[in-house]
Amino acid sequence: MPHNPIPCMICASSDSTLIVAKARLSGIEIYDLVRCPACQASFFSPMPTPDALNEHYSNDYTFYKGDNYKAQGKGAAFARKYLIPYKEQGKLLDIGCASGDFLAGVQQGSLWEVYGTDINPEVVASVQKKLGLDVRVGEIENIGFDAGFFDVIRVQDILEHVPQPLVFLKACRRIIADDGTFYLSVPNGLADAQNLVDYYAKYDSPAFSGAGHIYFLSFPSLKLLFKQAGFRIEKAYSYNFKKGLRSFSILPKSKHWKRDLTPPVWSKPQSQPQGTHAHQQKKRSAAYYDFQFMKDEMFKLPGVHAYAQDLSFVLKPL
């Protein structure tokens, strides 16, 4: 589609970005979803303003709900499997910590000190009150942690939401110790963008990026970002292959694939659908959570595979 080419936000390639779809984030504003032919990253254009992003997150609390025991169990299993063998004690930061249950689990399962951040002030206040954890509100670039303070930083499904991924990653690099470990998971941008592209092609109507993703980072674009921010890839894993194959229509798309891509009707006051949060809320044994954790880990294949829906990385400072 012809348009005024904008430079790539990731690799600054001089190749013209292409509009691959139109999309919405929140409200009625329509954005272009553009793709860089050089690094294959896609992103919203123009980049949504901080106000538009805040509006989106204040409308959607689904990020912050779930099974608290399960999230805590996962944190404790993570501590037993990855943190304690690495160091008996240390400092962990979870950026985008939402309910804080993962951190609470790490704290229960180890001697590690835990810290969190989230952009939602109400969520942070409730985590502080409920769990008594050191959780700060705001963006990592502007939160005053000392340089090299953390042994481990965890960033799960956050990078695709931030307006400036490189600035974000550089801020992480500043506060992680030189021998620290950075656990980062992110959707495979090509798979993640494909549903928005397909929706727009099929319905000629802007897809709703309901999960709030504004960047769709391909592996080459991630690799470049990591290097520019001062990280090297120690390990890479791919997972959620079935979902990825559905995104690319190699497997038939699920029956309800368009449900999450259809913009909600904004003229009506929003109400939470009944039953959305009816997750299991029952405390199980540590062995149960360790088993679940290991089961999830087993479905992660080493390396970066094109058809995976999600990627996770273990990064080390350069």
How far apart CA 43 and CA 30 sit, in angstroms, is 13
Sole window of 13-21, 58-66, 158-166, 265-273 interacting with Zn ion (rule: CB under 5 A): 13-21
How far apart CA 257 and CA 252 sit, in angstroms, is 10
193 binds Zn ion (CB under 5 A): no
Looking up tokens 């272009």 gives: 32
Q: Is the peptide bond before 46 cis (omega within 30 degrees of 0)?
A: yes
Nearer to Zn ion, 13 or 59 (CB): 13
13 binds Zn ion (CB under 5 A): yes
What are the φ/ψ torsions at residue 310 (nearest 5 degrees)?
-135, 150
Nearer to Zn ion, 38 or 84 (CB): 38
Nearer to Zn ion, 221 or 240 (CB): 221
10 binds Zn ion (CB under 5 A): yes
186 binds Zn ion (CB under 5 A): no
**Residues 32-51 close enough to bind Zn ion by CB under 5 A:** 36, 38-39
Q: 98 vs 56, 57, 211, CA distance in Å?
A: 15, 12, 14
8 binds Zn ion (CB under 5 A): yes
Nearer to Zn ion, 36 or 196 (CB): 36
228 binds Zn ion (CB under 5 A): no
- Would strands 30-35 and 18-24 be described as parallel, antiparallel, or unpaired? antiparallel
* Contact by Cβ (8 Å): 139, 119: yes
The contacts of residue 68 (CB under 8 Å, 6+ apart) are 99, 101, 281
Sole window of 9-17, 18-26, 205-213, 233-241 interacting with Zn ion (rule: CB under 5 A): 9-17
Residues that bind Zn ion (CB under 5 A): 8, 10-11, 13, 36, 38-39
